[in-house]
Structure 1
Amino acid sequence: MTFTTSRDANGTITITPRNEADQTATIVLCHGLGDTSQGWEDVAENLASKLPHVKFILPTAKTQKVTMNMGMAMPAWYDIVGLDKRSNEICPGIDESQQRILSILKSENDAGIPYNRMVLAGFSQGGALSLYTGMQLPNEVGCLAGIVMMSGYLPHASGFTITPGAESTPIFHGHGAIDPLVQLSAAKESQSHATEKGATDYNLQIYEGLAHSANPKEVADVLSFLQKVLPKVEECYIKLKDPSEMSVKELKAAIVKAGIGSRAVGFSEKSEFIDLLKCHRAGKL
């Protein structure tokens, strides 16, 4: 395995290159309504195996009541009143989720990853959030490497603008031709509205026979898009803590995460752990 997968108490799944020094990009992947990060873990791990320089972050939306689903509580990025065009303008909670995604991106940037080495991706409501957030980043951060939306749409279109400078952000929108929930007409309207607002690289790819789901062909097309907008580069952007400055506990955790714990069996001196981790990061193991 070229990556390691971890989970936190809030339902966020993180898939990191086994050698942290290999990371040169980040993808945040948001699930759809009623799902959790686990629903897309397999897809993310499959992509990670082919993008060994990319870190994937899969957050889980908070549980809240959804009007369209008779008020039932479920993981949702925002409340959905209905599927018609007018109802789509009412998205209580979308600003809060937008800020959460921006916070994740900022954390990655603080670690050294430039915004133009990040992608927002998502399915259905998660894709809608990705488009809404990704094209409206704060002026000072620049623009993303790209946006991936699967079976999604543009929410709150009347309040949507594109941050100056972000117009050329590449957008991949995959959509099923027979989607009964987010109909193809909604996808085409989203493309038209975003283009009218200034988007210049909006690719809507339609999949015949596909309903509200993703199929292998679409995932393969997503991979091709990601390989194009996040090519592997030699430069390491992230700020890794020097092993010499780490505690023994931190060293052991990093070694286990890297999958080289067996090489540390019998170690008793801190210097041995330091040397092992340094060799791993240098690609000498």
Structure 2
Amino acid sequence: MINMAAVKLQKSVVSQAGKHTASVIFLHGSGDTGPGLRSWVLDVLGQNLAFENIRVIYPTAPLRPYTPMRGAPSHVWFDRHKISQHCPEHLESIDSMCDHLGDIVQDELRAGIPKHRMVIGGFSMGGAMALHLVCRHHQDIAGIFCLSSFLNKDSAVYQTSTISCVDKNWSCFAPGS
């Protein structure tokens, strides 16, 4: 069994060209890695997400046993009981990863970047992880984005007061938007 308490997330970083004044934390989907997502962005855009003052951070989820793959190790942000929106979330693994990703938020704070200058998002499972991280633990982050993502039907994210969800049917928006 992997000791998740000892995990230090690996990161692929596209540094800003000038003074570092903001950060984007971009989480990959299940089975991928930070460098894999960075490479995908390069393939799609023909260039890195590179900005004058914004650092882009692509963390890699640790290799962990993944129940839907019969316990085979995979780079996933959290475990799932099964791939179904109707089953309960594996909150223990989600909350553990929120703590580890919170360390990256803290690193950016120590670098002088306030939360209102950070955006966190992700693709697929990375988007679900971003929703949990921001909506349940770091509600003062400037923004969140999710690409081709999901939440389970009774997700703990729906219990937060920071988002409203239309029919719990994957259409989410911040109050006032």
TM-score range, shorter chain: 0.7 to 0.9
Alignment of 1:41-80 (within 5 A): 41-42=38-39, 43=41, 46=47, 48-49=49-50, 51-80=51-80
Identity of aligned residues (%): 28
1:29 and 1:108 map into 2 onto residues whose CA distance is: 14
Q: 1:67 to 1:104 in 2, by over 3 A?
A: same
Q: What CA deviation, in whole Å up to 9, does each residue of 1:183-233 have, x standing for no partner?
A: xxxx96232xx56xxx3267xxxxxxxxxxxxxxxxxxxxxxxxxxxxxxx
2:77 and 2:88 map into 1 onto residues whose CA distance is: 14
1:28 and 1:167 map into 2 onto residues whose CA distance is: 20
Q: 1:162 aligns with which of 142, 160, 163?
A: 160
- The code of the aligned residue for 2:20 comes to Q
Kept in 2: contact 1:89–1:155 (CA 8 A): yes
Alignment of 1:35-184 (within 5 A): 35-42=32-39, 43=41, 46=47, 48-49=49-50, 51-138=51-138, 143-155=140-152, 157-160=154-157, 161-162=159-160, 166-167=162-163
CA shift, 1:87, in A, is 2.2
Q: Paired residue for 1:200?
A: 175
Tell me which protein shows more strand as a share of its residues.
2
CA shift, 1:40, in A, is 1.2
- The code of the aligned residue for 1:189 comes to N
- The code of the aligned residue for 2:101 comes to I
Any gaps of 5 or more consecutive residues in structure 2?
1-7
Q: 1:137 to 1:85 in 2, by over 3 A?
A: same
Q: 1:104 to 1:155 in 2, by over 3 A?
A: farther
Q: 1:151 to 1:97 in 2, by over 3 A?
A: same
SS state at 1:32 partner: coil
Q: Paired residue for 2:170?
A: 190
Tell me which protein shows more helix as a share of its residues.
1
Q: Deviating runs (4+, > 6 A) in structure 1?
A: none
CA shift, 1:106, in A, is 1.5
CA shift, 1:151, in A, is 1.0
1:71 and 1:167 map into 2 onto residues whose CA distance is: 33
CA shift, 1:48, in A, is 2.8
Q: What CA deviation, in whole Å up to 9, does each residue of 1:110-148 have, x standing for no partner?
A: 22111011001111111100011111235xxx6122111
The alignment's TM-score, normalised by the length of structure 1, stands at 0.51
Q: Which has the larger radius of gyration?
A: 1
Kept in 2: contact 1:122–1:128 (CA 8 A): yes
RMSD: 2.8
1:60 and 1:16 map into 2 onto residues whose CA distance is: 17
Q: Paired residue for 1:16?
A: 15
Aligned residues, how many? 163
Higher relative contact order (CA 8 A, sep 6+): 2
